[in-house]
Amino acid sequence: MRRTWALTLMLMLAVVLVAGGIAGCKRKTAGPVPAGDAESSVTATSSSQTSTASAESTATAAGTAAETTSATNPPLPPGSTVKTMKVKLYFGYEDRVMAVTREVPYSQAVAKTAMLELLKGPSAEELKGLKLHNEIPKGTKVLSVILDGHTIKVDLSKEFDDGGGTLSMDMRLAQVVYTLTQYSTIESVEFYMEGKKVKVFGGEGIMLDGPQRPEDYYDRVPIDA
């Protein structure tokens, strides 16, 4: 009888030991994630969030830049037209000058605009049926145009003084004077070249006694009616 109980007790102890070993193995297998793996997981998540935030910031910046550009240079409404104005330009015609009217883009700097158009010479349309010519030498540049009271001070590059005889010199001066004094606020023109006031013009020695008025040229270079 005692041997039977002893065997039973040994069997029960063996069962308990086996059960304990299995439970320990299960706990070891299902243990916590190693620290290194957990940091990798967090870093990957942070990188993903950073990339998303960066993309969103870039998109926002691009949108803001586009809006700024659009506000600075708004597109013209459909069907709208560019505002223009008319300027009168005087070109040589035989031994006189003749006025032509040209339509150009609007500008508040009307005197400078007129000078720039004058330097271009007559257009193909303006030359139809007329032998117009420009006595202002090619390459002449407008350096500045400044209104001082009722006198306009025009500074031209040195090319304005190139070539031509007395008639050519008189005519190019008259072209500028007639063109600029078409405006009611301008009564006379004072010539400068390369920043220096002109007192004697050209190799012909044309004296410029102060600001030039249209009436100074009526006899020398009349306007064709």
Amino acid (one-letter) located at 102: R
The set of long-range contacts for 66-71, using a CB threshold of 8 Å and a minimum separation of 24, is none
Query: Distance of CA 142 to CAs 33, 176, 206, Å?
Result: 81, 11, 21
Asked whether residue 64 is assigned to any structural domain, the reply reads no
Higher pLDDT, 129 or 156: 156
pLDDT tens-digit series, residues 183-216: 999 999 999 999 999 999 987 789 999 999 999 9
Kind and range of the H or E run holding 126: helix 124-127
Phi/psi for 99 (5° steps) reads -90, 140
Which band of pLDDT confidence, cut at 50, 70 and 90, is reported for residue 10?
A: low
Number of domains present in the structure of the chain: 1
pLDDT for position 75 = 61
Asked whether residue 46 is assigned to any structural domain, the reply reads no
Asked whether residue 198 is assigned to any structural domain, the reply reads yes
| 32 token code pair | 């916590």
Asked whether residue 99 is assigned to any structural domain, the reply reads yes
What whole-number distance in Å separates Cα of residue 196 and Cα of residue 124?
Answer: 35
Asked whether residue 19 is assigned to any structural domain, the reply reads no
Asked whether residue 201 is assigned to any structural domain, the reply reads yes
Asked whether residue 166 is assigned to any structural domain, the reply reads yes
Asked whether residue 50 is assigned to any structural domain, the reply reads no
Can you give the residue range of the structural domain that contains 117?
84-216
pLDDT for position 185 = 97
Amino acid (one-letter) located at 211: P
Task: Report whether 171 contacts 136 (CB < 8 A).
Answer: no
